[in-house]
Amino acid sequence: MSEGFHVHGAHDHAVEHGAHSGDQLAGRVAVTTAILSTVGALLSYQGGATQVEAMMYKNEAVLKKTEASNQWAYYQAKSNKQNLAELSQSMAPPAKVDFYKQEVDRYKQEKADIKTKADALEEEVKKANEASEAAMHPHHRIAQALTLMQVAISLASITALTRKTWLYWGAMISATAGAALWLSTLVAH
Mean pLDDT of all residues in the chain?
Answer: 88
Percent of the chain surpassing pLDDT 70? 88
Q: Write down the domain spans for the chain.
A: 24-188
Angstrom distance (rounded) from CA 27 to CA 168: 12
Report pLDDT for 140: 87
Taking residue 121's Cβ as centre, other Cβ atoms within 10 Å add up to 20
- Are 36 and 153 in contact by the 8 Å Cβ rule? The answer is yes
Angstrom distance (rounded) from CA 64 to CA 43: 32
pTM exceeds 0.85: no
Q: What is the pLDDT of residues 7-44, one digit of tens each?
A: 566 656 655 665 566 678 888 888 999 999 999 999 99
